[in-house]
Amino acid sequence: MSFIVGILTFALVINCLLLILLVLIQLPKKDAGAGMAFGAGAADALFGAGSGNVLTKVTKYATIIFVGVALLTGWLQQKNFAASQGTAKSDELLKSIAQAQQQSMSAKPATTTPVAPKPVTTLLSTQPTTNAATK
């Protein structure tokens, strides 16, 4: 999984360099001025009336590829991280259980004498004694 993330990251860097070059090569429109820099007519500049040369079309496609690869890389990286954290947490849990078992085994005395349980008949036959003086 991390190999795929590495390849996608490399593709993302190459795509970024391509986008930088494509934007720098393009000539501004004739009506590009200070208003264009502050958002006036931004929709017309981005989605013009279909007039555009090959560079603008390649820039649009490179931008779409950039966004898609960035989202895919982020999703795969998050999935890879969650999977590695899950195994790390389960390993920690197993280690803590093993340590708790070792501590409980070492806390017990080495020799224990088992206590024989009382038979049920003796438990039932014993009656609580009442003291006549307390009545």
Tell whether 117 is covered by a domain.
no
Tell whether 62 is covered by a domain.
yes
Range of the domain at 19: 2-30+40-107
Tell whether 70 is covered by a domain.
yes
Tell whether 90 is covered by a domain.
yes
**Which position has the token pair 């038979």?**
119
Evaluate if residue 19 carries a pLDDT over 70. yes
- Give the whole-angstrom CA distance, residue 15 versus residue 65: 8
pLDDT at 50: 53
Contact indicator for 107, 25 with CB cutoff of 8 Å: no
pLDDT in tens, 2-15: 889 899 999 999 99
Tell whether 66 is covered by a domain.
yes
Tell whether 65 is covered by a domain.
yes
Which two tokens mark 46?
């981005």
Tell whether 94 is covered by a domain.
yes
**Which position has the token pair 């500049």?**
45
Which amino acid, residue 122?
T
| Tally of domains in the chain | 1
Tell whether 135 is covered by a domain.
no
Task: Report residue 69's pLDDT band, with 50, 70 and 90 as the boundaries.
Answer: very high
Chain-centre distance of CA 32, in angstroms? 44
**Which position has the token pair 């389960």?**
90
Q: What is the mean pLDDT of residues 59-82?
A: 92
